[in-house]
Structure 1
Amino acid sequence: MNLEKVLAHQFKPIIHPLNERDCMLYAAGIGVGARPEDASDLQFLYEQNLKVFPSFVNVIAHPGGWVQAPELEVDWVKLLHGEQSFEMHQPLQAGKTYVGHFRVTDVLDKGPGKGCLLYMRKELREQESNELVSTVDAVYFLRGDGGSGGTVQNVPAPHALPERAPDGQVLLTTLPQAALIYRLSGDYNPIHADPALARKAGFERPILHGLCSLGVATRAILQAACDDQPERLKSLKLRFSSPVYPGETIATEYWKDGNVVSFRARAVERDVVVLNNGRAEIHPA
């Protein structure tokens, strides 16, 4: 990786008109609709008084495969999505246009052969008013770029889960075709659709997108702590710890402490933690 060029990379603002169809397709992709006659699901899937599912802020106005630019010299084939967080400043609305402004904020070098962490921020603004709608942060693990230098030396500690037993859990089953639906929201990486390429990448079959798994966990938090009211979700962050396979059941265990909800998610069939160190902040009812 060429650290100087990565830090100096200029991202063009990405304009994203948000229509009702895209909003409903995203919601369907993360499994909303399992309760097809329930108003809690229909609010995201039916055009009458449509609400936009909050975790859609992670997906819209995405910069695409910018790390593949040759001048950056990033070993992008070895990139992994490590962490993701978002904070809602106001809800998304179908029919409005949003603009994503991106920048690389920091790089932490773990040393030769150990990879590095790249920290990236998106500010999502409503085009007409320029009001900030959401702040989205991502951490990427560049396994092949250790020894390239960095800007910081210490990794922020992950959110610590309470040591007591969980206060409850939400079970949500993903569809076998979940990745094929979710990819229509813009992430066409073939390891989520092509069995041969997924095996070549080291997976037994196509895996679910990490941000789709995040969307499923967000559904669980809305059910467990927000009474399915999306406007009550202020922020959410988590670590990706293992991939999910479409068709698996995700059990999201949670702990409530005032307006903070800690959580982790497990693939039930394999008893594997797939999302960890989760923290959500909730607005009071």
Structure 2
Amino acid sequence: MTIEMSDLSYLSYVGKTGEATTRSWKSQDSLLYAVAVGAGGGDPARELEFTTENSHVAQRVLPSFVCVAATAPLPDGFSVDMTKMLHAEMSFELFRELEPSGSVVSVAKIDSVYDKGTGALVSFSTEVRDSSTNELVARLGSGMFLRGEGNFGGERGPKDDWQLPARTPDNTVVYKTLREQALIYRLTGDRNPLHSDPAFARSAGFDAPILHGMCTYGFTARGLLHAVAGGDPARFGSMYGRFSKSVTPGETLTIQVWLTEGGAQFRTLDSDGDVVIDRGRVMLR
């Protein structure tokens, strides 16, 4: 069923969990993800530890791959109109480095639904455990913004105290996406036609298919891995970012990084200099 935000019965989903789901991946899945978020772009000899399994370096996994590898279904009965849904925010925290292949059990829970006026923000979290040892591997957090579903009298939600630093960025990372980037990224599992079908994109209010928000997020996480963690996935602890504008495949992404104690603040800009991921934080382990 589709939840109508005008019907207060949707509040009954807060606190409920979805079915525990086992997710497994192989070496080729983590390799594909790396290429899908631009690894090796411009120089195929770089980042071989993320793009090959048989080079002179051992294969490793980009930290943000956990967001793809460990997805879990929401509670039964909870569904939304995909033409109204935008991915609003994403976070993850890793408690250990991911292996090139593995198996986890993920459980998702709806944490809150906030009234943002022009829409509703549905926030949910996912706990990820090793399927063999039950060891906690990661926690994911995500927010869906449902356009036109606000003004139902709910709470606005907490304010974020993030502030843009008053100095120039300590590091800047620039990546060029491909015009076909969304077609590559969809092979990692997100087949939403918003990112591939022009007719569907127009029905959702866009001129053309847009890049997956999680692809932009993955490019950003990859840049932060190199700019903040020295390219070492074992040092990458957590990341949060808020999506503020869609990206068209082929645009250039500029990641501005301000180093902090134990991590960094960041934001990502598009080719026009508009912010596409805002209020970003990354912490090292």
Give the C-alpha shift of residue 238 in structure 1.
0.7
C-alpha separation in 2, matches of 1:204 and 1:248? 15
Using the TM superposition, give the Cα deviation of residue 86 of structure 1 relative to its aligned residue in structure 2, in angstroms.
0.7
Preserved contact between residue 83 and residue 203 of structure 2 (Cα < 8 Å): no
Q: Which residue of 2 aligns with 1:139?
A: 143
Counting only pairs closer than 5 Å after superposition, residues 78-117 of structure 1 correspond to structure 2 as 78-110=84-116, 114-117=118-121
- In 2, the alpha carbon distance for the partners of 1:88 and 1:33 equals 24
> How many angstroms apart in 1 are the aligned matches of 2:153 and 2:111?
14
The one of 44, 48, 61 equivalent to 1:52 is 61
| Displacement of 1:216 | 0.5
Q: 2:97 is matched by which residue type in structure 1?
A: P
Which residue of 194, 216, 219 maps to 1:216? 219
Q: For residues 1-285 of structure 1, what are the structure 2 equivalents within 5 Å?
A: 1=5, 2-7=9-14, 9-34=16-41, 35-38=43-46, 41-48=47-54, 49-63=58-72, 71-72=77-78, 74-110=80-116, 114-148=118-152, 150=154, 153-157=156-160, 159-268=162-271, 270-283=272-285
SS at structure 2 position matched to 1:100: strand
Partner SS for 1:77: coil
CA change 1:73–1:179 in 2 (3 A) is: closer
Cα drift, residue 183 of structure 1? 0.4
TM-score norm. by structure 1 comes to 0.89
Per-residue CA deviations over 1:214-267 (Å, capped at 9, x if unaligned) read 000111111211221111111110110101111111010111122221111111
Q: 1:216, 1:74 → 2: CA distance?
A: 27
Contact 1:3-1:149 at 8 Å conserved across structures = no
Contact 1:88 1:134 in 2 (8 A): yes
State the alpha-carbon separation in 2 of the partners of residues 175 and 272 from structure 1.
Answer: 19
Separation in 1, partners of 2:230, 2:16:
42
Task: Kindly provide the amino acid, as one letter, of the partner of residue 87 in structure 1.
Answer: E
* 1: CA distance, partners of 2:110 / 2:29: 27
After the TM superposition, which of the residue ranges 140-149 and 10-19 deviates more from structure 2?
140-149
**Structure 1 residue 210, shift from structure 2 partner:** 0.4
The count of aligned residue pairs is 274
Distance 2:87 2:22 in 1: 24
Structure 1 stretches (4+) deviating beyond 4 angstroms? 71-76, 147-150
CA distance in 2, matches of 1:240, 1:158: 16
Separation (CA, whole Å) in 1 of partners of 2:66 and 2:251: 25
Paired residue type of 2:111: T
- Amino acid corresponding to residue 22 of structure 2 in structure 1: I
- Segments of structure 2 that go 5 or more residues without pairing to the other structure are none
Instruction: Give ranges in structure 1 of 5+ residues lacking alignment.
Output: none
TM-score, with structure 2 as normaliser: 0.89
Superposed CA RMSD? 2.1
